[in-house]
Amino acid sequence: NAGVMQNPRHLVRRRGQEARLRCSPMKGHSHVYWYRQLPEEGLKFMVYLQKENIIDESGMPKERFSAEFPKEGPSILRIQQVVRGDSAAYFCASSGGARSSYNEQFFGPGTRLTVL
């Protein structure tokens, strides 16, 4: 019973490049959430998606960041023209499904983005 999968686990980009972070939710889950964690901080909500729909992107920066959760395939968090301040750990969580209550979010291992 695979959990939430994220890849890559570590990603290094130079300023101005694009970063693509992938998240495969737990089997049977149709709700995906992205969070960002800065060093020594708690996680901050970015965006909530269901299949093919963005439900809430209130925590996501208005520029350079986008997210999608297509009908087929993983959810993607895309950061264009990365800057050093984007360096952080990005976590994906999923919820929904017969074995979990609606409110329990299961987290992936995270992608650690370093911008040089």
Partner 1 sequence: SQQGEEDPQALSIQEGENATMNCSYKTSINNLQWYRQNSGRGLVHLILIRSNEREKHSGRLRVTLDTSKKSSSLLITASRAADTASYFCATYGAGSYQLTFGKGTKLSVIP
Residues near partner 1 (CB under 8 A) are: 31, 33, 35, 40-45, 48, 55-56, 59, 91, 93, 95, 101, 103-110, 112
Contact call for residues 90 and 34 (beta carbons, < 8 A): yes
User: Which residue's CB is nearer to partner 1, number 72 or number 101?
Assistant: 101
CB of 36 to partner 1, least distance (A): 11
User: Which residue's CB is nearer to partner 1, number 5 or number 17?
Assistant: 5
Half-sphere exposure of 61 toward its Cβ, with a 13 Å CA cutoff? 13
CB of 108 to partner 1, least distance (A): 6
User: Which residue's CB is nearer to partner 1, number 39 or number 85?
Assistant: 39
38, 44, 47, 49 alpha-carbon torsion, rounded to 10°: 110
User: Which residue's CB is nearer to partner 1, number 30 or number 80?
Assistant: 30
CB of 77 to partner 1, least distance (A): 15
Q: How many residues does the structure list for the chain?
A: 116
60 Cβ neighbours under 8 A, 6+ residues apart:
34, 46, 47, 66, 67
Task: Read off the amino acid at residue 86.
Answer: D
CB of 109 to partner 1, least distance (A): 4
